Amino acid sequence: MHFLHGFLLFLEVKMKILVIGGGIVGSLLTKELSKYENIDVTLVEANYDLGAGVTKANSAILHGGYDDEPSTLRAKLCARGNKMYDDLVDELGVPVQRTGSLVVSEGNDGDKKKIIELYKRGIANGVSGMKIVEGEELRKIEPYLSPVFKYGLYCSSAGITEPWIVAINSGRLAESNGAEIMLGDRVVGGLVRNKRAVSAVLNSGKKIQADIFINCAGLYYEEIAKYFDVEVEKVLLRKGEYLLLDKAAKQFVNGVIFPLPTKMGKGKLILPTIDGGVFLGPTSEDLKSFDPEDLATTRNGLEEILKSSDELVPGISKFNWIIKSFAGLRPETEGKDFIIKRDEEISNFITVGGIRSPGLTAAPAISEYVINEILNGQMNIKLIKKEKIVERIPAKIRVREESFERISELIEKDELYGRIICQCNQVSEREIVDAVHSGARTIESVKLRTRAGFGRCQGGFCTWKVAKIISRETGIELEELIMNNENSYLLEGKVR
């Protein structure tokens, strides 16, 4: 606390905060911090867009919050975060569908005990909308569920979202409120003097000084901690592989379907995606060594998914519906709980690490916790809200989601709405151009922001069009364009 005493005397001097890592956690936190008068916040993200780390590859579930022990941060922040998403819909225009979730079991005595235990835990955690369901009622919720399942826990407050959009739109709102967002630059070192973090060194050579540093680097949180002489719990990486199915599969699934949880996690699920497809997975496999870029899928993993999803909803994987497979990594820690705390030694350094599932759900509550408990509370900074802030960013128009009459009006004002670029998801040129103008520079950024290329042709029809639009709008030559990271160039050069 020592450094703050002097500091607080000069309230008109802004306190500079550097948030490291623009996943859902870092982005939401930056958005909140940008609302304060006496804070000057900068977010630095290694990728070319926000939400392109763990936030990009997960189940995208807003968990009800009945899985975790009431004493944990996970339990507390998950149930709270779930509720906070209602406000995010309004503030950030992010899509949320409360599809409900269903944990299913065969209904023997042991199973029933576990389901009841989940229910009780949910009550203790303050989860709303739970109900134990049996027989016919179960089938009404999920008509295609295998008949071996007879007993389950339904939770109507659970749902799905589009996690990277939460991160990206948080970034946009934060910028409107004065935050600085640095993309495509990575923290590669830190300077600590007298037990105080002083500055962060970036890959580009830039140095950023700050008064407070917040580590939200996801899988890389140990590395960041090391740069600032902070000791943290070791993370182990646990891979989760997925299959994405065509929209045609959606008729077989209404909400999130879980098997009974095990020690390895919540099991392999079936759930709808926000744009109308279906996810199968994830697997759960510990990586042998720490390799946070290992997003490779495996034959075993994919086969396991097919098998287990068929046990939940028979027939779902037999059809010709698979359009994509991918993997994400979970940061597992021995303590299993989120690690959110101010460092005892380096007292201007805050760790937000080990943010595993239900990290997405909890993320808005994590921001709240950091601000209320740590900044306001432990560090005793009197944060002052700005008098005037941009309260929300306008929801993006998606042609696919508008009525025909409304689209007609839109085109009358702007013909780009009438030029359909991605036909599988009906994404118009206006949506793509807007994404580029709001910062998308890669094929994947455009895809994540607009859903162009997410559909059943997986970009076969539209990749070249998207590439040309990015090139036209930014002046980047086609052969300089990348898919996502630095080395992922698309094209080699000109034919002639």
Ligand X SMILES: Cc1cc2nc3c(=O)[nH]c(=O)nc-3n(C[C@H](O)[C@H](O)[C@H](O)COP(=O)(O)OP(=O)(O)OC[C@H]3O[C@@H](n4cnc5c(N)ncnc54)[C@H](O)[C@@H]3O)c2cc1C
Give me the active site residues, please: 63
Q: Counting contacts by CB under 8 A, is residue 420 touching another protein?
A: yes
Sorted by sequence, the CB contacts under 8 Å of residue 328 that are 6+ apart come out as 54, 56, 57, 58, 239, 240, 242, 282, 295
Q: Counting contacts by CB under 6 A, is residue 339 touching ligand X?
A: no
Q: Counting contacts by CB under 6 A, is residue 44 touching ligand X?
A: yes
Q: Counting contacts by CB under 6 A, is residue 329 touching ligand X?
A: yes
End-to-end CA distance of the chain: 65
The per-residue DSSP string of 175-215 comes to HHTT-EEEES--EEEEEEETTEEEEEEETTS-EEE-SEEEE
313: nearest Cα among 264, 247, 241, 256: 256
Residue 101, both tokens: 């979730």
Residue 330, both tokens: 């979970």
From the list 120-128, 174-182, 190-198, 418-426, the region that binds another protein by CB under 8 A is 418-426
For another protein, the closer CB: 102 or 316: 316
Q: Counting contacts by CB under 6 A, is residue 61 touching ligand X?
A: yes
For ligand X, the closer CB: 224 or 432: 224
Minimum CB separation of residue 73 from ligand X in Å reads 12
Exactly one of 125, 333, 361, 442 binds ligand X (CB under 6 A); that residue is: 361
Q: Counting contacts by CB under 8 A, is residue 318 touching another protein?
A: no
Minimum CB separation of residue 242 from ligand X in Å reads 7
Unique residue bearing structure tokens 């020690």: 263
- x/- track of binding to ligand X for residues 5-24 (CB under 6 A): ---------------xxxxx
Quote the crossing angle between the two packed helices 359-369 and 163-176, to the nearest 10°. 30
Exactly one of 320, 344, 388, 475 binds another protein (CB under 8 A); that residue is: 320
Q: Counting contacts by CB under 8 A, is residue 10 touching another protein?
A: no
Choose among another protein, ligand X, none what residue 396 binds, the Cβ cut-off being 5 to 8 Å by kind: none
Minimum CB separation of residue 129 from ligand X in Å reads 17
10 Å CB burial of residue 195 (0-12, 13-18, 19+) is middle
101, 256 Cβ separation under 8 angstroms: yes
Exactly one of 116, 123, 264, 296 binds another protein (CB under 8 A); that residue is: 296
353: nearest Cα among 260, 233, 179, 248: 233
433, 416 Cβ separation under 8 angstroms: yes
Sorted by sequence, the CB contacts under 8 Å of residue 444 that are 6+ apart come out as 49, 52, 483, 484
Choose among another protein, ligand X, none what residue 357 binds, the Cβ cut-off being 5 to 8 Å by kind: ligand X
Q: Counting contacts by CB under 6 A, is residue 428 touching ligand X?
A: no
Minimum CB separation of residue 254 from another protein in Å reads 18
E strands, 47-106, where?
61-62, 96-97, 101-105
For ligand X, the closer CB: 215 or 347: 215
58: nearest Cα among 164, 203, 215: 164
Could you give the CA distance from residue 359 to residue 60 in angstroms, rounded to a whole number? Answer: 10
For another protein, the closer CB: 194 or 403: 403
For another protein, the closer CB: 270 or 407: 407
Minimum CB separation of residue 134 from ligand X in Å reads 26
265: nearest Cα among 290, 239, 247, 294: 239
Minimum CB separation of residue 286 from ligand X in Å reads 12
Minimum CB separation of residue 165 from another protein in Å reads 20
Q: Counting contacts by CB under 8 A, is residue 486 touching another protein?
A: yes
128, 119 Cβ separation under 8 angstroms: no
Q: Counting contacts by CB under 6 A, is residue 218 touching ligand X?
A: yes
Q: Which residue ranges make up the site for another protein (CB under 8 A)?
A: 243-244, 247-248, 293, 295-299, 301-302, 320, 322-326, 399, 404-405, 407-408, 411-412, 415-416, 418-420, 423-424, 426, 428, 456-461, 463-464, 468, 478-479, 482-496
Q: Which residues make up the interface to ligand X (CB under 6 A)?
A: 20-26, 44-47, 52-55, 58-61, 63, 186-187, 216-220, 224, 240, 282, 328-330, 355-361
